[in-house]
Structure 1
């Protein structure tokens, strides 16, 4: 059986709607918590897919959160292996950092559902199903485009929302994986951040109800297409 290893920084920011897709595709899904689990001896290329998920800390915060150093080393080894790597929100920022890109505060929070503007490359990429579909944004930092990366999407408030490096590395600033049926966990878990940013949880809840089904379907098509590319690349390599 294929394996998908997910690095989960906060319990409710899990694989969400992507987990059933991965299981249907024959993956055994395993979570590790970098804040608690020792990543130092982990074989970076042992899993068929590695996913670094989101979290409310920064990509350069290892002085305050020392576990990030081991996570960065694991991701660095994964990049060197050339095996599939998906980063979401913090995960995408950590990968961008390792690829030499700056990750900096925006000076404000981008929180809520909103559509992406796909670049020309983005419209030809696996992100094509996300055109016109509101995705969940929840971040205060942004990444620059990594060297050799292709910019796939942006928004008016954050121009760099998605990048790809080759066919094996995909970084997404937004949360296409968010399960709208469990949005209450996000609202409670991030209640302090919402209050500080002046975001109304009633509006977020209503938007999740309105857009959740379309986002789940678009996420399934997007990541399904990306997984197909990984399968095809592995077949060519054999």
Structure 2
């Protein structure tokens, strides 16, 4: 057998390392997707690592290799949806006013409800049970984020760009309105007679934005 030229070996090692990294990312993504589904349907107490492994199509031992405990996996699921929500709010910092900032935020949050409904359900269930696992998120990152976005809204109010409303309650209402499409998706499907189509989702986004922006005096 012919030896591999010395100069090719580092390249082969790099390719092998890159392949392993891609495989690991794909496996972690599959695990998180499966875990979101199981936690959303069974709750933290009813979920088991075996159920999640079965859903992901992996041996249970492989699941424990990536996440040692159910709590570690649960926190990863919660952190993922939380980070996705935080990224959606980046539009606040660059927006010139509420029409652009809040409009884009509503669009992003509605799209997240469409793409990650189970993640939203896991978060909602956790908070409704008093946040026994993620209380630290509420007391630190979420509190800081809310204060920062409320300050932006207060600036828009001071600049005369929107009505003088309570920023915190405006944010709570936005969360409730947009996440309703994930947390109560089954109810919406029943009332709609079928799952929302692409056109339905676009119409829903327009409606929520129109109601909110008109309500705060932005036209």
TM, length-normalised to structure 2: 0.29
Structure with more relative contact order (C-alpha pairs < 8 Å, separation 6 or more): 2
Q: Point out the structure with max Rg over C-alpha.
A: 2
Structure 1 or 2: more helix by fraction: 2
Structure 1 or 2: more strand by fraction: 1
TM, length-normalised to structure 1: 0.28
